[in-house]
Amino acid sequence: MKFKSNFITKLMHWEYWPTWLVYLPVVFYYLILSVRARSFFFFTQANPDMEMGGLYNCSKYRQLRKLPPELIPKTVFLQSGTSFKMAQKALAKMAINFPLIAKPDRGERGTGVKVVENEEELATYLKRNSTDILLQEFIQTSFEAGVFYYRLPSKKFGIIPSIVLKEFLTVVGDGKTSLKDLVDESPRGRLVSRKLFDGGGLDSEEVLPLGKEKLLEPIGNHNRGTKFLDGSRHTSPSLERFFDKLSRRLGTFYYGRVDLKANSLEDFVQGKGIKVLEINGVNAEPAHIYDPDTKLREGIKTLLKHWTVIYKISRENNMLQHSTTSLKDAWEHYMQRKKIKK
C-alpha cells in the first residue's frame, strides 16, 4: 500500500519525476544552441571564473572565499585525508561549534551534506569521505531561500527572475501517534521516510506531545523533503542591488542561484543579514518551478528560457575572448564528479 501511495504521489506531481525525464526537451534545445554556438561547451563562458561554468564538479569554497566574512558562514576547508586532530584545530581556530554542517567541496543536489552533532559524528564523516570537504557553522535560523540572478556582461544591472522559499519538513504531534506514523501520513514525508530513519538520528517510536512541532530535516534540499515555494513576488530594489554587488565581488559571475539564510523574510527582502551558503552556476535551476502549484509546461518553458539566457551571456563573453572549457578538462571534471558521487 505504501509503495502504491508513493508511486501515485510521484506520478501526479512532476516535481518528483526523474531529472532526465523533465530535462528531455531541454537537452534537445541545448543541442540546437550548441550548433549555433559551434561548441558543446559554450555554457562554460556564462561564468568564466567557475569550473565548467558551474555545471558540475565546481568548488564551493573557491567561490565563497571571494566574499567578505560577514556574508558567509564561518567555513573551514579540509583537504582529502585530513586527520581528525587537524580538523579539531581548524574548527577551534575559526570558533566553529557543534552542531555544524559538513559537505563535499564539490557536489550537487545535497550529496553528502550532513548536520554533524558532535566529535564522534565528525570523526565518522571524515573516515567515510575521500574528497575535500567543508565544515561550516550551522546558521540557526528557519528562513532559507534560493535567489536566481543573471546579468548580461554588457549590462550594469542584473535581474532576479526567481526566488524559491524553503519550507522544511516538519510534523506536529497529537500525543498518541508515533513519529514514524506521523511522517508516513504526509505524502512528502513518506517519500523520504526511509532516509530519515535509516540514519538513526530519529526515533521512529517517539510520540510527540499534543501540538509539539518537530523539525525532521534541517537540510533545505528538495530531495530531502523540503517543500519549494515560489517567492518571486518578494523581489525588491534592495535585493537587486545586493545581488548586483555580490556578482561583482565574485568576479565574472553572470548566471546562477545563490542559496542563503537570513534572520527573517523582512530582512531578506531588504538585503539585510544575508548569509550565503552556496553559489551555483549553470547547473542551477530557477527552483521556484518546483512549487507544487506550478504546471509542468510552465516549468519546462522556464528552463528553456533560462538556457536562452545562458546562450546570450556566453555569446557576449565569447566576444570578450573568454575561452570555453576543453574536452579534456570537461572529462577530468566528470570523472572527479563520479568519484564524489560514489
Model confidence pLDDT, tens digit, residues 176-195: 999 999 998 888 888 888 88
Q: Flag whether pLDDT at 310 surpasses 70.
A: yes
The whole-number pLDDT of residue 217 equals 85
Fill in the DSSP letter of residue 15: G
Cell numbers at residue 135, please?
A: 565544515
Model pTM above 0.85: yes
Q: What average pLDDT does this structure show over 34-39?
A: 93
Q: Flag whether pLDDT at 2 surpasses 90.
A: no
* Cα–Cα dist 315/306, whole Å: 14
- Which residues have C-beta within 8 Å of that of residue 332, sequence separation ≥ 6? none
Cell numbers at residue 126, please?
A: 571524515
The whole-number pLDDT of residue 342 equals 58
Query: Average per-residue pLDDT in the chain?
Result: 89
Compare 197 and 245 and report the one with higher pLDDT.
245
Q: What average pLDDT does this structure show over 303-320?
A: 92
* C-alpha torsion sign, points 243, 114, 199, 127: positive
Which one, of 300, 304, 334, lies nearest residue 21 by Cα?
A: 300
Cell numbers at residue 29, please?
A: 534545445
Q: pLDDT confidence of 1, banded at 50, 70, 90?
A: very low
All structural domains of the chain: 25-73+140-168+217-311 (3.30.470.20), 74-138 (3.30.1490.20), 173-210 (no CATH)
The pLDDT tens digits of the residues spanning 96-135 come to 999 999 999 987 776 788 899 999 999 999 998 888 999 9
Q: Flag whether pLDDT at 340 surpasses 60.
A: no
Q: How far are the Cα atoms of 115, 237, 305 from residue 70, in angstroms, in the given order?
A: 22, 21, 34
